[in-house]
Structure 1
């Protein structure tokens, strides 16, 4: 039995990555969990080193309930100082997903997407992953729901701090998909970041039988991962690219004109390693085996809990 303390901020992506890794660990060991969700306070805008000092200062005047955990797992910038604060009490094995932005050597392991490797010094306790941690899809449902036609799903990211998605980025792809008409079943799947003008443009200009999601409360994203034969994904979305990599299916990237270098380097790395291709209007069989990064990371963590446990996969190297 492992007693674990799970800490993450209010971002959905932070929760998802923690829960995905935790779910994989539970396949290997029984785990009992307590949770702390960091709700943003005024001092959470400080650098992590100062947040850590604030937590230690508060602890001088206020007792904190604490169990002797075997494992602390956290994700998100503001969760990192909480992880170190609690783990130092009894030298608990502690893991942090994404860059903690301070005391990187103070964690048992930090789990970093490969495209972030250039922005930080490489520590011996770093586990690099291809993309974000995401669940491997269950392909058994495909047999039951298989269609006569192949399915193409266009997964569309959006604009944010690291990228800007414009109509010019996707209009060429839209024309190619329209020319296919009913040769394939074609789905457009918008994300939370997809700008309204992009959605309206696609809905107005797509071929009539092609489908856009979400529709109201219906968002079959997981089903599309299982059932689609080919994927087109905008370059900005590390999460959706990572999800598709787990399926072992063909992935085509739509390049963006306005995108940060680290995201561009991520897709360039995937192209070089032949995990993905640039979309040029043709659909071919995949040239890679499906990835399961969350299983690989879980195996590496389990090595710290059982002496004879070995990974069967290859290493890539509230307050």
Structure 2
């Protein structure tokens, strides 16, 4: 039976607590471990890991993943909650209906169910986020105190909601990003401001009426909602100092100022193609004279036609260095050593990370963004965190702003919410 945090006389025969144990717990329940529930998407899991690290629990957490079936008919079921999706696939598999449907309707473009790694329905053999197992972990604390659970992404919501219902007195649930409805189901919700207030006049025209009831109102959020400017991440002053040392030899001899250019890729809310590449290259030609070095990198989402055009137009310049994606990633080195950045507008996380440096950030393609992304870009421009790239910039003339510190500020709000409950973290 776990020892309660309140120090009362122990019954005869109970093991005595050491002075260190009494000092450590006091009147609090101490959280000694955390569970991250991810969905396999790097951007989402990076936010949860960043928050856990900021809470000082980088070596005291485990990662569980919600795995959604993929391939074939699964791609038509992604709109379902993941638990319902799995039940549907299980029923189809058990009744052998899928093969009959395919044979009778050959015109359908469904692919066979994926059986990767020997598991049916495309489920990979990784640590699954199982509600019963996590609830058992929380209830069988063995003196480890309550469980901190941090999750991000739509597929994790049904898992965290069920855990909260079954073990509310043993867990503290932090849901990152907008759960869309019934936010009071979670102990704390951390979401970007542009995601909480999406129904601007322009957005209302783009959201179907039947979906608008799922969008939170404009009223101020409840106390369990933390609004951030951008996305949470793992970049902070400590990681930048470490990166500066790690990549010292790679960057120290480069002519200054160093301009880092990072290209993402088009998304549903920020579409672009070759035209943006031409705009970017023209601007870079204009600012090259004020640069000592230009470091360019592409992401996995960068269209080949965009990267090919940039390579063709700039690779001959002696000032330009283009990462070939074959050596270890220079991303953290870029953040630590750059004097200024140019970033495409598509990635909220990428922009949030560069803005955490306090260095000049120029955004290209922001005019191509719509709905929530357009609101995000408006917000960070108004706060002086970024400027649109015009091609008239003098990179040698620096400007600054208070570094964006969303992750650390969100971590402080977690600590405050835990203290209100009589809990705290073991650090």
Match of 1:166 among 273, 279, 288: 273
**Residues 95 and 109 of structure 1 are in contact (CA less than 8 Å); yes or no, is this contact kept in structure 2?**
yes
Q: 1:298 offset after TM fit, Å?
A: 0.6
Residue range with higher mean Cα deviation, 101-110 or 40-49: 40-49
Partner of 2:406: 293
Match of 1:71 among 128, 148, 164: 148
Q: 1:48 offset after TM fit, Å?
A: 4.1
Partner of 2:46: 16
Over the aligned positions, Cα root-mean-square deviation in angstroms equals 2.9
**Residues 48 and 101 of structure 1 are in contact (CA less than 8 Å); yes or no, is this contact kept in structure 2?**
no
Matched, 1:138 2:138: no
**Residues 48 and 78 of structure 1 are in contact (CA less than 8 Å); yes or no, is this contact kept in structure 2?**
yes
Matched, 1:129 2:223: no
TM-score, length-scaled by structure 1: 0.84
In 2, Cα distance between equivalents of 1:231 and 1:130: 19
- Bigger Rg, which one: 2
Bigger fraction of residues in strand: 1
1:274-311 Cα offsets, whole Å, 9 max, x none, are 1111112313422311122111111110123336999x
TM-score, length-scaled by structure 2: 0.64
Partner of 1:85: 162
Q: 1:153 offset after TM fit, Å?
A: 0.8
* Equivalent residue runs for 1:51-200 within 5 Å: 51=84, 64-65=132-133, 66-68=136-138, 69-91=146-168, 92-119=171-198, 120-121=215-216, 123-124=221-222, 125-134=224-233, 135-136=235-236, 137-139=239-241, 142=244, 144=248, 145-146=251-252, 147-179=254-286, 180=288, 183-200=291-308
CA 176–14 in structure 1, closer or farther in 2 if over 3 Å, else same: closer
Partner of 2:323: 213
1:133-186 Cα offsets, whole Å, 9 max, x none, are 122142465485534421001111111222222222232331232342584200
Structure 2: gaps (5+ residues): 1-30, 88-129, 139-145, 199-214
**Residues 7 and 73 of structure 1 are in contact (CA less than 8 Å); yes or no, is this contact kept in structure 2?**
yes
Q: 1:197 offset after TM fit, Å?
A: 0.4
In 1, Cα distance between equivalents of 2:342 and 2:328: 21
In 2, Cα distance between equivalents of 1:174 and 1:63: 50
Q: 1:229 offset after TM fit, Å?
A: 0.3
* Equivalent residue runs for 1:215-234 within 5 Å: 215-234=325-344
In 2, Cα distance between equivalents of 1:63 and 1:130: 31
In 1, Cα distance between equivalents of 2:156 and 2:77: 10
CA 257–247 in structure 1, closer or farther in 2 if over 3 Å, else same: closer
Q: 1:35 offset after TM fit, Å?
A: 2.9
Structure 1: gaps (5+ residues): 55-61, 311-319
Bigger fraction of residues in helix: 2
